[in-house]
Chains A and B, each alone.
Chain A
Amino acid sequence: MIKVRIPTPLRPLTKGQGEVETTAGSVVEMIETLNSSHPGIKDRLCDETGELRRFVNIYVNEEDIRFLKGKETSLKDGDEVSIVPAIAGG
């Protein structure tokens, strides 16, 4: 299983859960799987072309996927994924 940490603003989509478990061989697969169990989450993470939105980062075991293989970054059993929203304010 892969643990995925969900940031506060996305928790309404996961019924309030801060962490969900999933199985997937890559980040892109993980996003699809999450979207099946938590509809709407993909739209929050990816734009119309499927690219990661500029105000979201995904970390696999504390490493930014933008420095790995992006959405194609592979995942294996026991990996921990963090979805990180942009630093923001007003």
Chain B
Amino acid sequence: MKRKIESDVDLLVTNLVIPQHILDDMIAHARELAPHECCGLLAGTGGVVSRIYRITNIVAMEGAQNLSSFDPAKAAHLERLSPEERAEIAFVMDMQDFSTAKKDMRNNGLDLQVVYHSHPHDPARPSVTDIKIATDYEEIWPKINLPIPAYLLISLMHAAPDVRSYWIKSGQVSAAPFTVR
């Protein structure tokens, strides 16, 4: 009975629910890859996260001129950096990993809820690039059969990690509070 009430409540509120072990896993992922950025996906149902997918950050592997997510100015800037330096300030998801995760979600009846990445040296809020790419992506999600996710940032700039999530819609950023349980 309790379970039913909880699921009804989750349908009414937009708050995300992230299990403690998944939160811990994301922070561990960020720390493992520091000083480089990590990235991944959280999936679940009705805002309740139940699965984490770590995705490879391939920004260090490719010349930035081909990174087609970035606008030419940003790509030109990234191109001047070494692969190591690029990975400290940017992430690009490996779309093979992404496809595998998407297939697993579909097979398990889960929806995409969150796209996460880390900011090893910066605060847990979306950068100008994050906002621009998320805004460009708004028209893509429905075409690949996925809901618009929340964006979660893990900052490692202080000793205690700071984790915050946001909605990014039409270039506007708003807090997407989550509860841990």
Contact B96 A90 (CB under 8 A): no
Contact B66 A84 (CB under 8 A): no
Q: Which of B66, B94, B103, B136 has its CB near the most chain A CB atoms (within 10 A)?
A: B66
**Which residues 1-31 of A have a CB within 8 angstroms of B?**
5, 7-10, 12
Which residue of chain A lies nearest to B78 when distances are taken between CB atoms in the complex?
Answer: A90
Which residue of chain B lies nearest to A87 when distances are taken between CB atoms in the complex?
Answer: B93
Contact A9 B68 (CB under 8 A): yes
Q: Which residues of B contact A88 (CB under 8 A)?
A: 59, 67, 69-70, 90-93, 129, 133
Contact B130 A53 (CB under 8 A): no
Q: Which residues of B contact A64 (CB under 8 A)?
A: 99, 102-103, 144
Q: Which residues of B contact A5 (CB under 8 A)?
A: 143
Contacts A59-B143, A82-B144 given; indicate if A87 touches B99 (C-beta within 8 A). no
- For A36-67 the 0/1 string (1 means CB < 8 A from B) is 00000001110000000111110100101011
Q: Which residues of B contact A66 (CB under 8 A)?
A: 95-96, 99
Q: Which residues of B contact A86 (CB under 8 A)?
A: 58, 67-69, 92-95, 98
Q: Which residues of B contact A78 (CB under 8 A)?
A: none
Closest Cβ–Cβ distance, residue A9 to chain B (whole Å): 5
Contact B70 A9 (CB under 8 A): yes
Which residue of chain A lies nearest to B75 when distances are taken between CB atoms in the complex?
Answer: A9
Task: Report how many residues on chain B are interfacial, defined by Cβ distance under 8 Å.
Answer: 41
Contacts A53-B62, A57-B95 given; indicate if A89 touches B90 (C-beta within 8 A). yes
Q: Which residues of A contact B140 (CB under 8 A)?
A: 7, 82, 84
Contacts A57-B95, A89-B126 given; indicate if A62 touches B144 (C-beta within 8 A). yes
Contact A55 B71 (CB under 8 A): no
Chain A contact residues, CB within 8 Å of chain B: 5, 7-10, 12, 43-45, 53-57, 59, 62, 64, 66-67, 82, 84-90
Give 21 pairs: A residue, B residue, CB < 8 Å, sorted on A: A53-B68, A54-B58, A54-B94, A54-B96, A55-B58, A55-B67, A64-B102, A66-B96, A86-B69, A86-B94, A86-B98, A87-B39, A87-B92, A87-B133, A88-B69, A89-B91, A89-B127, A89-B130, A89-B133, A89-B134, A90-B130
